Each structure stands twice: as structure tokens, then as C-alpha cells.
Amino acid sequence: MDICMIHENASKCSVNSMECFMVLSTQAQKISIATLCGLFGTLCVFENSLVLYLIFSSPGTRRKPSYLFISSLALADILASINFVYSFLNFHVLKETNFSKESFLLQLGGVNTTFSASLSSLLLTALDRYISISRPSEYKLLMTRKRAWLALGVVWVTCATTASLPLLGWNCCTLNSTCSELFPFVDDNYLLSWICFIMVLLGCIVYAYAHVLRRAHQHVAYMEKHQAQLGKQNTRMRMDIMLAKTLVMVLTVLVLCWSPVLVLMIYSVFARLSTHLRKVFAFCSTLCLLNSMVNPIIYALRSKELYSSLRMVFSRFRRQPKASEESPEAESTHKSSMIET
């Protein structure tokens, strides 16, 4: 009997049995997954690094709590893409098995921490928009930089602690319990708990954005009715509405990219997965990278402050070549003037 068909915990907790989880069998599948990971991962790191540079290079954006949350999202996406591409290609493409259970769970914990932090940062951004629209007069008092940093610290510590539970002992080898069919050494109960944690985050984000959209619709109707009397307040409300719509686009992309992975995870807890479905899960996992890659594009297209900062960066790069072309003439002119003197 093939070792991959054995269901005893002893076989699934051995390092040799990890080959059963390496479902990419053909060279074409390995090349395809490597291409997707390399493309999405590289673009994700570049785009999110650019977002971080645009935010922290401008005093107007780096002081705002909303952009602190977006910075946390960009940082989490960078770390998630690096951890995911390295561990995923090392496992499925290179098929490395010369590492221990602890080292594998450490890599898996890093991936779960960063992806959970990305989703949690999006939740903080949604709550920031919720407070900004529902209680605009008290926003600056409620959402201070100190509270924003405190919320980010709590989020990152919570995500790291949750992702470290398998490494700390909540795994099927230590507990002699049912192992997951998608991840080596991972307990099915832990996987279900982690899925519930992600679903709670998604539910809170959906609720916050549903309220934001309802209030944004009310703002639009109010502005159309009292456009002449609003003045500066009209401009501020338009900015809130535009940012709310931007973040709804981010949420839509997030749900579309994460739904296939979560559905297959839930299905694996209650039923057996075929080899074909596990291959589908491997390819659907790359959609998480796609989500991290698309987020900065939405920011650049929808955020006026980041877009204007990006145009300033491009204008600086355009001036540098011109300055370098003019520098020899300027230097010769300077030398001739010195000789004349």
C-alpha cells in the first residue's frame, strides 16, 4: 500500500511522509506555479515597497492614522510574499524534505502570521473609515497616532501568537490527533480554528464596510442637495467617500482571492480531498499573492495623495537625466569663467 494512502498519525508525522503533500507531479505544473509565484511575488514586493516609500516620504501622509494602517498592510504583504514564495517553491517545486517538523512549522507560522496581519490591517483600515464617517466630529480625538500604533501592536502580536500555536504544541504529532490533508503536522482542529479566526475578521470587515457604504450613499445624497452651502466640508466628505470606495475595492479583491482557499480548507476538515483538489488548492494559494499585488495598484489609482506623491517621484527621475545632460556644459562654463577671472 502507498504511504500516501495510510491514515495513521505515525505515518503523517514522519518527515518522509511529507512527500505525500507535494502534489505537483509534472514539470509543466512546477514551471507554471514557479512562474506565478515569481511574477506575483516580485511585483508585490516592488509595489508595496513603493507604497511604503510614498507614505513615509511625505509628512502629510505618514502622520495620519489611516495611512499607518495602510503601511502595516503594505509591510505585511511584503513579508507574506517573501515567506510564501520561499516556502512554497522550496516545498512544492524543489521538494526539499531535509528539514525537521519544527522548521516546517516555523515557516508555516511565518506565512500565517503575515497573511493574518495583512487581513487584520485591512480590518483596522475599515474600522478607521467606520469611525471617520459615523463620528466625524470626534474622529481626531478617537483615532490618535498613539492609539493607532497600539492597535497595530496588538494586531501583530495576536497574529504571531495564533500562528505559533502549532509550533508550541498544537499539532497532530504532539496531540496524536487527526492531521490535516493540506498541511503536514497541522491538526485539523487548529486548522478549523484558524479558519474561524479568518472568517471573523472577514465578517467584521464586511460589517464595517456595509456601514461605510450606507453612510457614503447618504453623504452623496446630502451633497447633491446642499452642494452650494457645503464649501470645504463638501471636499472633505468627497475624500472620505473616495477612500471608502477604494477600500471596498480592496475588500472585493480580497474576498475573490481568498474564497477558493478558504472553501477548500473547510472542505478538507470535513471530507477527504482527492489529489486533483489538492493540486487545485496549490494553484489557488497563489491567488493570495495576487491579492497582495493588486492592493497597491488600487491605492495608486484611487488615493489622490499617494497618486500625487507618485507623480512627484516620476518628475524627479525625469529631471535627473536632464540635469546630467546639462552638467558637462555647466561645468565647462564654470571653468571658463574661473579662467577669465
**Tens digit of each residue's pLDDT (9 = 90 or more) over 194-204:** 999 999 988 88
Do the beta carbons of residue 208 and residue 127 sit within 8 Å?
yes
pLDDT at 279 over 60: yes
Report residue 194 CA to chain centroid gap.
17
Q: Which pLDDT does position 158 carry in this prediction? A: 95
Whole-structure pTM value = 0.81
Q: Which pLDDT does position 161 carry in this prediction? A: 95
- Average pLDDT across the chain, whole number: 80
Banded model confidence at residue 135, pLDDT cuts 50, 70, 90: confident
pLDDT at 290 over 60: yes
Banded model confidence at residue 2, pLDDT cuts 50, 70, 90: very low
pLDDT at 8 over 60: no
Of all residues in the chain, what percent carry a pLDDT higher than 90? 26
What's the rounded mean pLDDT across residues 60-65?
82
pLDDT at 77 over 90: yes
pLDDT at 323 over 60: no
Q: Which pLDDT does position 23 carry in this prediction? A: 79
pLDDT at 6 over 70: no
d(CA 98, CA 302) in angstroms, rounded, equals: 46
pLDDT digits (tens, 9 = 90+) for 209-245: 878 777 776 766 666 666 655 555 555 556 566 666 7
Q: Which pLDDT does position 194 carry in this prediction? A: 93
pLDDT at 327 over 60: no
Q: Which pLDDT does position 151 carry in this prediction? A: 94
Q: State whether CATH 1.25.40.80 applies to domain 24-310.
A: no
Q: Which pLDDT does position 17 carry in this prediction? A: 67
Of the listed ranges 26-35, 133-142, 233-242, 278-287, the least confidently predicted one is 233-242
Say which residue, 12 or 304, is predicted with more confidence. Answer: 304
